[in-house]
Structure 1
Amino acid sequence: MEQQKLPNVTLILVLGIASIILCWCYGVLGLILSIIALILAMNSSKTYKANPEDYTNYSALKTAKLVSIIGLVLNILFLIFIIGFIMWIGWDVVMSQDQELIQERMNELLNN
């Protein structure tokens, strides 16, 4: 039987890289992409473990999974930062989008 490549490895890698790039979109879009990539990676890993002699690119799958995990961690950290910033400044100030009010609130908080 001829060996073949694991399914979705390239897609998993692309989703992992995209999740790292998009982590600056408030952590939500990149978080979704990294979760999808990790689910696909788990499915491909199960496929490999069922018949390891049939597939050749397991090392690429491990790399793609690592990239997805890095994307997941970065997105979670950025989401925590955004939530902390909103709690620190105040939701009303953030929603007003008034730069002077934001600067004033930050100065008040830093001087206390």
Structure 2
Amino acid sequence: MEKQTLPNSTLILVFGILSIVTCCCYGILGLIFGIVALVLAKTAKQTYMAQPDIYEGYNNVKTGRILAIIGVILSGLYLLLNIVLVAIYGWDGMQEMVMESMEVYQNQ
């Protein structure tokens, strides 16, 4: 009997990677990808544990889940940092800081 690929195993891995890559997009995209990957990983794990002899690809689920956890943590920290900076400096102050840093890099 040929083993079936676990549903969404590749998608979980891709979303786990994307959660880390997009964690610097104000933390929001990384959180979305990470949470979706964690939910999909939970259902895939339940499916696999019910009948482990039928499915393959559980390594992708485990790796994607670990990457999603890392991505959620990084995104959450980055989002928290942005909230604190906006609370301290305000939105206008943040824009001024970005413009000043852009000018510094353009003059180099």
Q: What's the TM-score bracket when you normalise by the shorter of the two chains?
A: 0.7 to 0.9
Q: Do 2:12 and 2:60's aligned partners in 1 also have CA atoms closer than 8 Å? A: no
- Which residue does 1:6 correspond to in 2? 6
Q: Do 2:12 and 2:64's aligned partners in 1 also have CA atoms closer than 8 Å? A: yes
Unpaired runs of at least 5, structure 1: 104-112
The separation in 2 between residues aligned to 1:98 and 1:56, in whole angstroms, is 52
Q: With the length of structure 2 as denominator, give the TM-score of the two structures.
A: 0.81
Structure 1 ranges of 4+ moved more than 3 A: none
Unpaired runs of at least 5, structure 2: 102-108
Q: Does residue 67 of structure 2 align to residue 67 of structure 1? A: yes
The separation in 1 between residues aligned to 2:21 and 2:59, in whole angstroms, is 23
Q: CA deviation at 1:87?
A: 1.7
Aligned alpha-carbon RMSD (Å): 1.9
- Which residue does 1:98 correspond to in 2? 96
1:27-52 Cα shifts (integer Å, max 9, x gaps) = 00111111111111111111101111
Letter in 1 for 2:51: N
* Rg larger for: 1
The separation in 2 between residues aligned to 1:98 and 1:72, in whole angstroms, is 29
Letter in 2 for 1:98: E
Q: CA deviation at 1:98?
A: 3.3
Q: With the length of structure 1 as denominator, give the TM-score of the two structures.
A: 0.79
1:21-100 equivalences under 5 Å are 21-94=21-94, 97-99=95-97
- Which residue does 1:108 correspond to in 2? none
Q: Report the identity percentage.
A: 47
Q: CA deviation at 1:92?
A: 4.8
